[in-house]
Structure 1
């Protein structure tokens, strides 16, 4: 039995290189490339595995890039259910500029999935979910997949009695209206979902409570990057300070946070404690190159020094 099953509808072959400087029209001489299996749910699965949770990954993959993604997932020790698709899996490209420490990320839209390929993804997810505690869906929806796909996943989770953790954006988030146990969103994703600026903490808390009060999610975690995170449930509003960290790469930190939260919940921890563990995993992820998973030792060490959250008041508009 897997405690966690992840779904990645738009996986990617993540390619990371370093270069002295990125300039227009010039040839950019790069270091040897690093290849990682990427996409939200795959990243979550890799990190959950490192953190000691039984986990499996469900994802569509096609072409040579899809073959490599599937092989890299298997080499990471994560059991997977691959759904073969006709079009090739997308590639994502990251350049770390050594002169400035800046990072440039180029993300492609992904393959177009047919109706039968989408149905197979749903069937495979349902088969895995019946023996899991949590389903985690993370990442964007590829072309051809309807905007309500994650809502349909939520309904599968309700039917099978498994808790659903969601981390997505755009139309995929806007069309979710019920069935989510924990929703992780950035301020940008909240802003796009609700159509408001959300520049202040009270506005961000109010927006998260709006999602909870409307029944779209039982709890909302708002990631704030260097400013930490917020947790909102029907009965609490808490602020978590960020763990000070010098970043090597920001790729996958949000996925690590989701993995840490979910792993914490499988251990029977309170949601607040699980979020603190998720923040430790996210901070540990900043220390790794590309989308290489953080280590369990780093995560546990940072968890020990992470500060307890502070209860904050909500001021509704």
Structure 2
């Protein structure tokens, strides 16, 4: 396959999560309004895009650290859970309290309800502290992963500032974000991983076909927003757009338990593959397997290395989209 390769030493990945959360997951027989609903005992996991990526990357054997702001008792609990998972913690203390997110699984129907709070407002000094800590952690790192939403108070060009730090340090930036954080990227991203919805919102038009989606990906590349783009297609797999060729990756069919964290798991798999020096197509295939493994996992529980590697072994090879021209 002609997909380009990425040099890597197999060493450190650093993630940054600007809006971490304590993910609370519980089950209930039926979700109804007004009445009290008696829930099962809750499960607590550290959450937020980059933190999720770090946990899965660590599980795959990568050397990984996580930069994030955290405040209050909830923030301390998130930091402790991240450390307990074996990830090196770089915590910025903030005045506000870290948010909680609630996932409720309805046993009678199999439906899942997710309640996501906005998070604390970060001051300018707290934002600067996060960037300073990232700059320090990025020294010697192969990849920086910036993932997740931006909390109140953080300007929409924040991820461009992260990209600038990566350019200074020589680390390659993998970015997974949406909305204003994506709109304000102008340079410095190695790999961008939008969903079709995020890509559609970014270019401002309907993307009804595979050709439309690849056109939009190449439009971002032509703007120098990213060197390569991986478009997540959910249950249909993914597309990889590069300067030389484009590839379609079929999904790995699995029984779905929960969709929470599947995109973050995909990013983790891709980044770990790249850090091992794998070709892009193999790294994306590992990402597809990691995302599928997360779909099989209940609630916010991390998927396992055995599940990821088992699915990677049977994941279909990508198809060269030779008919698409640009």
TM-score normalised by length of structure 2: 0.95
1:244 aligns with 2:244: no
Q: Report the counterpart of residue 9 of structure 1 in structure 2.
A: 18
The separation in 1 between residues aligned to 2:215 and 2:109, in whole angstroms, is 37
- SS at structure 2 position matched to 1:136: strand
- C-alpha offsets along residues 177-233 of structure 1, whole Å, 9 cap, x if unaligned? 110000001011111111112122111111111111221100000101111100001
For the residue of structure 1 that corresponds to 2:193, the secondary structure is strand
Q: How far is the alpha carbon of 1:288 from its aligned partner? A: 1.6
Shift of 1:26: 2.1
Shift in Å, 1:24: 1.9
Report the secondary structure of 2:91's partner residue. Answer: strand
Q: Secondary structure at the match of 2:194?
A: strand
Query: Cα distance, 1:117 vs. partner?
Result: 0.3
Q: CA deviation at 1:315?
A: 5.6
Structure 2: gaps of 5 or more residues: 1-9
Answer whether contact 2:11 2:275 (CA < 8 A) is retained. no
1:2 Cα offset (Å): 5.1
Aligned length: 316
Contact 2:100–2:116 under 8 Å retained in 1: yes
The residue number in structure 1 matching 2:263 is 254
Match of 1:20 in 2: 29
Report Cα offsets for 1:221-269 as digits up to 9, x if no partner: 0101111100001111111111001111110000000000000001110
Query: Given the alignment, which residue of 287, 299, 324 partners 1:314?
Result: 324
Superposed, which structure 2 residues align to 1:271-286 within 5 Å?
Answer: 271-286=280-295
Q: Secondary structure at the match of 1:294?
A: coil
Of the candidates 84, 93, 100, which is equivalent to residue 91 of structure 1?
A: 100
Please tell me whether the aligned partners of residues 229 and 240 of structure 2 are also in contact (alpha carbons under 8 angstroms). Answer: yes
Partner of 1:136: 145
Q: What is the alpha-carbon distance in structure 1 between the residues aligned to residue 310 and residue 140 of structure 2?
A: 31
Match of 2:239 among 216, 230, 233: 230
Partner residue in 2 for 1:219:
228
Match of 1:78 in 2: 87
**RMSD of aligned residue pairs (Cα, Å):** 1.1
**Aligned with residue 187 of structure 1, among 196, 202, 217:** 196
Taking the aligned partners of 1:5 and 1:13, their CA distance within structure 2 comes to 20
CA contact (8 A) 2:101 2:116 kept: yes
TM-score (norm 1): 0.98
Q: Distance in 1 between the 2:205 and 2:35 partners? A: 40
Structure 1: which 4+ aligned runs deviate by more than 3 Å? none
- Distance in 2 separating the partners of 1:28 and 1:301: 38
Q: Distance in 2 between matches of 1:97 and 1:241?
A: 30
Structure 2 CA distance for aligned equivalents of residues 22 and 73 of structure 1: 31
C-alpha separation in 2, matches of 1:311 and 1:107? 38
Matches within 5 A, 1:120-135: 120-135=129-144
Structure 1 residue corresponding to 2:171, chosen from 158, 162, 174:
162
**Residue among 72, 88, 112 paired with 1:63:** 72
Structure 1 residues 187-196 or 137-146, which shifts more? 187-196
Q: Indicate the structure whose relative CO is greater, using CA pairs within 8 Å and at least 6 residues apart.
A: 2
**Correspondence 1:22-61 to 2 at 5 A:** 22-61=31-70
Alpha-carbon distance between aligned partners in 1 of 2:51 and 2:27, rounded to the nearest angstrom = 23
Write the distance in 2 (CA, Å) between the matches of 1:209 and 1:62: 40
Q: Secondary structure at the match of 2:67?
A: strand
- Give the superposition deviation at 1:303: 0.3
- The answer for unaligned runs of 5 or more in structure 1 is none
